[in-house]
Amino acid sequence: VNMLKERNDKYDGAIQFVDISSQDYSPNDNQGLDYTTAMGRIHAILSDGTVVKDVEAFRKLYEAVGLGWVYAITKYEPVASIAEAVYGVWAKYRLQITGRPPMDEILKSRRKKV
């Protein structure tokens, strides 16, 4: 994310990052994506309001900052299916892998704050 944010500055803010953990986060302002959904997998909202997720979201984000070539191969089979499968495993286990609490604990903590 930090690399994308740095490149984003050079591309006149082509990407508008949203902090879903903020108490001000509103699904209504983000195509109805609630916190649980947004935390489960990466999502991107295109300028026309279309929601994309998973590898397609990464592809769109990288394209927006001039690095579309990095994910271009993921448009084509069999790489597309492999990339989606790998991302699916990462999305499922990323909290554990990165040393964060399980999703149910995060949601419980968030409910207490609201």
Task: Give the global pTM.
Answer: 0.86
- Element holding 44 (H helix, E strand): strand 43-45
pLDDT tens profile 47-88: 999 999 999 999 999 999 999 999 999 999 999 999 999 999
Cα 46 to Cα 13, 38, 41, 60, distances in angstroms: 13, 15, 16, 8
Q: What is the pLDDT of residue 114?
A: 64
pLDDT tens profile 84-102: 999 999 999 999 999 999 9
Q: What is the pLDDT of residue 40?
A: 92
Closest CA to 114 of 12, 34, 57: 34
Q: What is the pLDDT of residue 1?
A: 86
